[in-house]
Structure 1
């Protein structure tokens, strides 16, 4: 069973990995930094062990939001790494989302000149600003025009946000877990999708393609409750699309970082099978863990053989025009 994965991170010199968040990550997870900086033998060996035929590289999120020149240089560096092994790697661009017009121009360059398949961007700016304001929409306009997806990736919260919302009577590591992968990341990306819908982004750009990870960032459980609330029903009546239409037509969901068959079954109940994409989250997760998850989906008969192939690689192949 081959696989294509598309939330798989790498560090390149122009953006690097030198900030407080990653300096802490490398201490907690020794060895991951070396994997992030490798685009050769180490990465390929892990891919082979997990039956990953193609990996869509993305830059480490949380860096370069305000620096167009660094994003451009890092995207060019990534393109060279892809050119060295084009049968195994593809690319998502980094964009300076705090400078939306520059971000839109760089997305156009990365797709048309470098051959990238879209962009993976931080879920918010450093002050927690989301992209529902119209000043960010030039990026969505270019993405729709070029027919490439934007992947909204969880981002580190500022210290004040962490202290106010997640600090408590427990160790610092638990606080950071709540801020990130145990809760904060997921609810914030889910909120962002709802804000984009409420702001009319999917009315203005009806063919826009957005990818989110973690089996839907908590939205699958909340989706039908949101849809039946009066103010969302009123919006749906006035628009071409309800939030459920947007989920079916504009949102793709990866399994990245979540390897639970039970959770997958919940996602499956509310999500079209052609909108579900397998991903791993390398180097923070191993491709062999991802392979074991696909094998468990197969052995549990959660999916038919055809559906399993769709999730493992066919949906990504179609979405990214690989």
Structure 2
């Protein structure tokens, strides 16, 4: 693979600019899209006109994208919100045109985007799906430093917990399973994926005594998909799915809601977790953390998750050819 990964700037008042510099030397060739004024003082960078233009060794390749204002660490500026959004769209355009291998996105602050640019999407994932033509996608969180690996997909994402039972329809769960199954083959090189599906209720409903969503929605769906040859286990009690012997029995877990999926992976591999959007016509990864305004500009930002995201994007692009 000779094309670079595109690293979007994310929220410039967060830790993103530091991470863009601190990830240099990780073994992945990437170019950063953003305003050079937002990089740490003294950062070694070279502006480039195209994603794969050469730069001196040790320099960050920068596709310059001017923002309205400079950035103050820890203090998001609403005037810069549109620039954050436009950088994401620019990266999608470049990778869609074949000028880059993949996209790794640095964290955004959704509140700042809503206040400064009336951003109408719940998060990065939904905006990327919109830019790709409103394609159906799912969010996967994948570990990089635990074995067996922990890969989780929440079927419902950024909605209140009280809305989950109604939102978790058979159609939505089927979509998550099919997208995950296809992506495990295409993007992770697993020819016969084994998927585990968590129940919504404690003890996966315990035969209907703790809820009927499993027996009425999940079990019939899984039986039908097994008939098509998809290797599925479940519905399983979520509290016994994530210790090492359990993880060894599947390649990815489909969970009912956000925290059911994210608590185990953030407990097992907080620094090495990577956010991967499955179902897009291009590869997108992201570090599994936020903007960290409290430490922005201090030089204490840990690049481990960004490096893991860049390496996963590189590996996935290699598998895709």
TM-score over 0.5 (shorter chain): no
TM-score, L = length of structure 1: 0.29
The alignment's TM-score, normalised by the length of structure 2, stands at 0.29
Q: Which has the larger radius of gyration?
A: 2
* Structure with greater strand share of residues: 2
The answer to which structure, 1 or 2, has the higher relative contact order (CA under 8 A, 6+ apart) is: 2
